[in-house]
A and B are shown apart, each in its own frame.
Chain A
Amino acid sequence: MEETLKIIVLVKHVPDAQLDRHLNGADYTTDRAESILSELDEYALEAALQLTEAQGGKGAGHQVIALSMGPAGAANAIKKSLQIGATEGVHLKDDALAGSDAAATSLALAATVRYLSAGSPVDLILTGMASTDGETSLVPAQLAERLGLPQVTFASELEISAGRITARRDSDTHYDTIEAPLPAVVSVTDQINEPRFPNFKGIIAAKRKTIITLSLADIGVNPAEVGLSGSWTAVQNAEPRPPRTAGTIITDEGDAGIQLVDFLAAQKLL
């Protein structure tokens, strides 16, 4: 076959959506005490593994690099990715990154991608469809813009051939086929595949894989460009949403449909 693929998968360590989540401190950053690998990133990792397996797999020398930015706990997301099948892990960790918004995060990630491209160019950067917390879909789009790359979002099918990526994307009114030259940033939906679970062999193999830890100095980023000082947005004020005022709950005794319409009429919603 042709050349080997070098794919970076952005994996994120997020608060477990099943637990109560909190905003902390004067700058209202998310509390990540109880965090997990973002479920949506598992689809991106699976897509990366399938793309490389379709072209000969690990033996063929393809690289699937799980990259995460964040405090010590982010290493858990990388470890899990290595167990699932990523070939390498990279952890961008620096105290100065705390409080980074999407603009600052994308700056740090862009510098990391450039750093990782030094030996051989990166072909593809894969992400999940949106992080399950916080600033949604901005980071991948901003990363693509900073690197001057095309971005294909919400791919529900993906193919690579002859230096191009072809994706299928669904919208409400149509299905599109999207093409872009590589390298590209691609986000995949939760419809693209069924992510595999780490198996015993994977867990053992992951122990032999290394996680490279990088600091801002390693990737040549000035700490003032990231974190709260490098962010272009600020949270001024945050308060827990008042619990919705307790509603009226009735049990249907044969006329609940009528009562529903009365309620809608009273709320001027008809």
Chain B
Amino acid sequence: MANVLVFIDNQSPTLKKSSLELLTIARTLGEPVAAFNGEFNDDVAAALSSYGVTAVYRPGSADLDDYLVAPKAAYLAEAVAATGAGTVLIENSSDGKEIAARLGIKLGAGVVTDVVGVEADGGAHKSVLAGSYKTVCRATTPVSILTVKANSVTPEPAPTATTPESVTIEVPAAATANAARITGRSNKATSGRPDLLDARIVVAGGRGVDGDFGPVEELADALGAAVGASRAATDAGWISHDAQVGQTGKTVSPELYISAGISGAVQQKAGMQTAKVIVAINNDAESPVFEIADFGIVGDLFEVLPQATAEIKKRKG
């Protein structure tokens, strides 16, 4: 079976759910091999073996994270050459897409981004124009590179675990010579909530929260959800710009998106329209958000959200 190379850029002690999803998809296309960067430990090794990875490639240099994407693309190009992989799967983050872009030029390989499903023959499903069209795209080159959105499949371990061989890939010295380098970093306070891109559930607030994200955050915490926002809310400074969902924010496709006090402008829809289930709470029955809602409530978010939060807590005991 052909090798399918999954790029896992791991920045935490355990593998992200989206990485497990990529490995799950890889198994449907061929034999999964991992090109790994970042923190590697026993838990990570165990996860890779339970997901059926047959080989783990790791970079010979530890400083790839000191640069923006270019050296990672150079590393992956070497990994593709070493594995002879015909398909490369990368997460659909902004870094992931740029790595894919550069890798595509290095390999002469077509790149399809924003993929939500892959057929056994390589056809990649994606939606375009803010979710208004569903397309099947394909790379017409010997190697195809797909960046896959989180929550596209349910992660499933392989029927039988593997004992992956471990291989070191030397990163060409030239890869870092002319790259953009990270020369300073200051950490932001973290919320402890799930990552917006990865989250199974997102609760988002807009101008309707009128400066108070409390009810949105409390519902999010009761559901174990990430908090999102419209640009009106982030521009007003009520919540960090990182929470913005939409054309100039993040594109999410969670299983559930709860939109509260958001009107549903095209630029907002561009970032959330592929959510599996959409719930909208808005006090204006004419609001366009109701056109895309599976369940809509015409009501005051300051009444509805706290009531729902209390009810969830009650049922969860």
Interface, chain A (partner B; CB < 8 A): 17-18, 20-21, 23, 28, 30, 40, 101-103, 106, 129-130, 132-139, 141-142, 144-146, 148-154, 166, 170-181, 184, 189-191, 231-241, 244-245, 247-252, 255-261, 263-265, 267, 269-270
Contacts A150-B178, A150-B179, A257-B303 given; does A141 touch B98 at CB 8 Å: yes
> Closest approach, in angstroms, between the C-beta of B87 and any C-beta of chain A?
13
In whole Å, how far is A186's beta carbon from the nearest beta carbon of chain B?
A: 9
CB B151 to nearest CB in A, in angstroms, measures 13
B182–A232 CB distance below 8 A: no
Instruction: Find chain B residues with CB under 8 A from A190 CB.
Output: 248
The interface residues of chain A, by DSSP majority, are classed as mixed
CA distance A102 to B130 in the complex (A): 18
B210 interface residue per 8 A CB criterion: no
Given A151-B180, A184-B180, A190-B248, decide whether A238 and B135 contact each other with a Cβ distance below 8 A.
yes
A153–B69 alpha-carbon span in the complex (Å): 10
B97 and A247 form a contact (CB under 8 A): no
Is there contact, CB below 8 Å, between B94 and A137? Answer: yes
Interface of chain B, main secondary structure: mixed
Query: Which one of A30, A139, A241 contacts B134 once the chains associate, using CB atoms below 8 Å?
Result: A241
**B308 engages A172 (CB within 8 Å):** no
The chain B residue sitting closest to A268, CB to CB, is: B255
Cα A145 to Cα B266 in complex, Å, equals 32
Looking across the interface, which residue of chain A has its beta carbon closest to that of B195? A172
Question: Which of B69, B97, B111, B127 sits near A241, CB closer than 8 Å?
Answer: B127
Question: Smallest distance from the beta carbon of A97 to chain B beta carbons, Å?
Answer: 18
CB < 8 Å neighbour of A256 from B106, B178, B304: B304
B308 neighbours in A (Cβ, 8 Å): 257-258, 260-261
B113 close to A (CB within 8 Å): yes
Indicate which residue in A248, A251, A270 contacts B295 across the interface (CB closer than 8 Å).
Answer: A248
Please tell me if the beta carbons of A177 and B183 are within 8 angstroms of each other in the complex: yes
In the complex, the answer to whether A103 meets B104 with C-beta atoms within 8 Å is yes
Chain B 131-143 against A: per-residue CB contact (8 Å), 1 yes, 0 no? 1111111111100
A247→B291 CA distance, assembly (Å)? 8
Asked if A260 and B304 make an inter-chain contact with CB atoms under 8 angstroms apart, the answer reads yes
Q: For the complex, is B27 an interface residue (Cβ under 8 Å from A)? A: no
B204-226 CB mask vs A (1 if < 8 Å, else 0) is 00000000000000000001000
From residue B284, how far is it (CB to closest CB) to chain A in Å? 12
**Known interface pairs A190-B248, A233-B112, A256-B304; A181-B312 also in contact (CB < 8 Å):** no
Extra contacts, 6 of them, besides A151-B68, A250-B297, A257-B307 (Cβ < 8 A), are: A20-B132, A175-B186, A184-B180, A244-B293, A247-B295, A248-B294
Instruction: Give the contacting residue for A260; candidates B101, B270, B297; CB below 8 A.
Output: B297
Identify the closest chain B residue to A178 (Cβ): B180
Can you show 17 pairs from A to B with CB atoms below 8 A apart?
Answer: A142-B102, A142-B105, A170-B241, A172-B188, A173-B190, A176-B185, A179-B183, A180-B180, A233-B112, A233-B140, A236-B123, A236-B135, A239-B135, A240-B134, A241-B134, A249-B285, A261-B315
Whether A145 pairs with B105 at a CB distance below 8 angstroms is yes
Q: Which of B69, B110, B138, B278 contacts A141 (CB 8 A)?
A: B69
Total contacting residues, chain B, CB less than 8 A: 89
What's the minimum C-beta distance from A157 to chain B, rounded to whole angstroms? 12
**CB pair B183 A178 closer than 8 Å:** yes
B279-317, CB < 8 A from A: 279, 281, 285, 290-300, 303-312, 315-316
Known contacts: A28-B135, A252-B299. The answer to whether A269 contacts B111 by CB under 8 A is no
Residue from the list A21, A181, A233 in contact with B139, Cβ < 8 A: A233
**In whole angstroms, what is the CA distance A232 to B241 when docked?**
35
| B247 nearest CB neighbor, chain A only | A132
Cross-chain contact B105 with A174 (CB below 8 angstroms): no
A142 to B137 alpha-carbon distance, docked (Å) = 19
B114 on the interface (CB 8 Å rule)?
yes
> A240 and B132: CB pair below 8 A?
yes
Contact A138 B113 (CB under 8 A): yes
Determine if B267 is an interface residue (Cβ-Cβ < 8 Å): yes
Residue from A148, A180, A235, A257 within 8 A of B137 (CB atoms): A235
- Inter-chain CA distance A255–B303, complex, in Å, is 9
State whether B105 touches A103 (Cβ < 8 A). Answer: yes
A-side contacts of B13, CB under 8 Å:
none
Contact check, B311 vs A257: say whether CB atoms are below 8 A apart: yes
Say yes or no: A235-B111 contact (C-beta < 8 A), given A191-B241, A261-B312.
no
CB < 8 Å neighbour of B113 from A136, A152, A179, A181: A136
Complex CA–CA separation, A259 to B164 (angstroms)? 49
B116 CB → nearest A CB, Å: 12
Report chain A residues within 8 Å CB of B248. Answer: 40, 129-130, 189-190
Q: Judging by beta carbons under 8 Å apart, are B102 and A141 in contact?
A: yes
A88 to B178, alpha carbons, bound, how many Å?
A: 29
Residue contact A177 to B134, C-beta cutoff 8 Å: no
B171 within 8 A of A: no
Which residues on the A side are within 8 Å of B190 (C-beta)?
Answer: 173
> Is B180 in contact with A174, judged by CB distance below 8 angstroms?
no
B26 within 8 A of partner (CB):
no
Establish whether residues B101 and A145, one from each chain, have CB atoms under 8 Å apart when the complex forms.
Answer: yes
Is the Cβ of A137 less than 8 Å from the Cβ of B182? no
